[in-house]
Chains A and B, each alone.
Chain A
Amino acid sequence: MKAVFHTGVPAGWGDTLGDRPWCLAPVGGKPLIEYWLEWAFDIGAVDVRIVLGDGADEVEEFCGDGSRWGLHADFSFLRNTSAPDDYLRRSPEQWTDGLLYICGPVFPRRLRPPPWAKPAEGVTLRVVDAGQTACLLSRDTRALRAFLSGAPPQSNGSWADLQLDPMTLRDVKSYYDLNMCLVGGELSHYVPPGYLNGDGASIGYNVMIPLSVELRPPLVIGNDCRIHSMAVVGPNAVIGNHVIVDRQTELSDCVVIDGTYLGRNLEISGKIVSGSRVVSPDDGSVVELSEPWLLARLESESRSNDLLRALVGWAVAVGLMLAQAIPFVLLYPLIRIYSIGSYRLSSRIGLGGRVRRLPVWTTLNSQSRLGRCFVGLGLDLFPLIALAAFGRIWLCGHAPLHPERDQALRKRLHRYFPAAIGYHTRRAEAGGHAVETTNALYYERYRSPAEDLRTVVRTLAGRFLDALSGESATAC
């Protein structure tokens, strides 16, 4: 028996809860995908294939190799243009011995605590959502072959026989209601043998709760949380991991997503809180608060790496500016006189999200030796390097983004470093916008002082060698 979990199917309600992929949305304090992995282990589907989509790196990081659940997890992709079931049809012979297939936000709701019955030989059970198979559990080779060849499988049993009632999470309300059901008592259906949940309070590891805090079960508190004095938590509060609840704040009938700071004297009831976002489960409306003393997303990322990058970058920028100043002053008038190239000011998103007009070099005559020499010495970058030396932009980082054209990319980047030099200033690849996007996302993840220095050296040395070999000058 094998399991295939498709996490790349879009689920609109997941976006309203924040940036994390919907399969990692906490349900009763645990990510949804963890319930799937536990289910797979429970029915003996040790080989698990997870098809990744948005937030793929986070999903893989969470699941690891699956050994935490006694499973062997592997990962695959499916391009957006393909139908979700197409993944199974790529090599159908793999899945015919028995399959647990989840394709979308389906919660395996248990009707009673363990032990649970295992699916019998020849049984096929299916959950349909909007005409598509959202969940399939089958130990019927013939039915699986039919499904893999395109025919919709027919259920020949009842989920209730397995003490299950799989539930499709269609919207924020169903997600909220499920959390309230779990904290209200159903969580005991998922407590493994040997553990008790008698008082209705589930509190994780490394949680600091002063004596003056009032806890009113039922409630769920995740790991690594800080609850400050005089706070009142519960009833029916589901609090995720890494949450800080400040003094005198009252929480009831609410879901607080991982990594949230809740400020002082707040009263939160009947809401989902995710970072600085408050979601109303009834209509899915979202209110984003900009005051970090009320609500905020807690960031675990260390800034020391960026501080070091800034220092190294600034020192190198000053050195480069001084080295280039005289050649630039001598050559640029000639460049202008012979119309070899010029700068034009173009609007770009600068530091702090402010739109600035930055000089962009354009080569007008790529055959000119003087032009090749100018670009080969990196003098076309001089105005931007000077801006980096004066702290207006970074020396090394992202290509400065256009305020309108690059809006989607800017939203994707959690940290943005508009810079003079970057992957964009080396030899241009013919991939267009796709290459720009991958470059920006790659740099965001792997930035370091060493990577910055490598990029600066490669850019300047590459331009110099190109000029020597007589290749056309590239415009940045």
Chain B
Amino acid sequence: MNVRFDLSEGHGIVTVTGALNAACVDSFRDQFHRWMGDNDGIRKIVLDLAAMDFIDSAGLGVLIAMLKRVSERGGDILIAKLQKKARVVFEITRAYKIFEIYDSVEEALKAKA
């Protein structure tokens, strides 16, 4: 799994490539927390999942925990470009009720935080 953190007009864009599963959630969590610590003022974070080909319950758990943490600071995590395999996991676990999911990063960036 690879993660890239970018900033666009004051919003964060986190691009995840590969699988987000139990084997790499700890590393993902640590990188995210470090980045959040360095960019304390960010309220809206867009997760670009176009290149994420797999997610399991551990990966989903980390995303929900991240959302909780960001929400407590008055922000939101928006998901963009969810691919079929990951989308099925979101459907089965009803995680689509928790996250705001957009068809593209641009749509997510346009949305109100």
- Give residues in A with beta carbon < 8 Å to B: 52, 56-57, 60, 74-77, 79-80, 82, 90-91, 423, 426-427, 429-432, 434-435, 437-439, 441-443, 445-446, 454, 458
Contacts and interface: CB of A to CB of B under 8 A. Distances in A.
Contact of A52 (B22, B62, B96): B96
Interface in B62-113: 62, 64-65, 67-69, 82, 87-104, 106-107, 110-111
Given A56-B90, A435-B60, A438-B95, 10 more contacts: A57-B91, A60-B87, A77-B99, A91-B107, A429-B62, A430-B68, A431-B61, A431-B65, A435-B65, A442-B92
A426 B58 contact: yes
Contact of B64 (A80, A431, A441, A443): A431
13 contacts: A52-B91, A75-B87, A77-B99, A91-B103, A423-B61, A426-B22, A430-B65, A432-B68, A437-B94, A438-B94, A441-B93, A442-B93, A454-B22
Contacts of B39: none
Given A77-B96, A79-B97, A438-B95, A458 B22 contact: yes
A454 B56 CA distance: 13
Given A442-B60, A443-B57, A458-B22, A90 B107 contact: yes
B91 A60 contact: yes
B20 to A, nearest CB: 13
Nearest to B72: A430
B96 A434 contact: no
Nearest to B102: A90
Contacts of B111: 90
A73 to B, nearest CB: 12
Contacts of A427: 26
B103 A434 contact: no
A454 B22 CA distance: 10
Contacts of A426: 22, 58
Contact of A423 (B58, B68, B100): B58
- Give the interface size class of chain B: 35 or more
Nearest to B79: A77
Contacts of B99: 77, 79
A408 B110 CA distance: 35
A441 B94 CA distance: 8
Given A60-B88, A90-B107, A429 B96 contact: no
A441 B92 CA distance: 7
Given A75-B87, A90-B107, A443-B57, A435 B64 contact: yes
Contact of A442 (B67, B68, B89): B89
Given A57-B91, A429-B62, A431-B64, A442 B103 contact: no
A56 B22 contact: no
Contact of B56 (A435, A437, A442): A442
A80 B64 CA distance: 16
Nearest to B100: A79
Contacts of B90: 56, 77
Contacts of B100: 79, 82
A361 B78 CA distance: 37
Contact of A445 (B58, B92, B96, B106): B92
Contacts of A82: 100
A74 B56 CA distance: 22
Closest 5 CB pairs of A and B: A431-B64, A56-B91, A442-B57, A438-B93, A57-B91
Given A79-B100, A90-B110, A429 B91 contact: no
Contacts of A57: 88, 91-92
A458 B94 CA distance: 25
Nearest to A434: B64
A431 B18 CA distance: 23
A423 B107 contact: no
B101 A438 contact: no
Contacts of A432: 68
B90 to A, nearest CB: 7
A441 B56 CA distance: 11
Which has the most chain A C-beta neighbours within 10 Å: B60, B91, B100? B91
Contact of B61 (A76, A439, A445, A446): A439
A427 B99 CA distance: 23
A378 to B, nearest CB: 17
A277 B68 CA distance: 39
B97 A80 contact: yes
B64 A429 contact: yes
B94 to A, nearest CB: 6
A60 B88 CA distance: 9
Contacts of B58: 423, 426
Nearest to B104: A91
A75 B102 CA distance: 10
Nearest to A454: B22
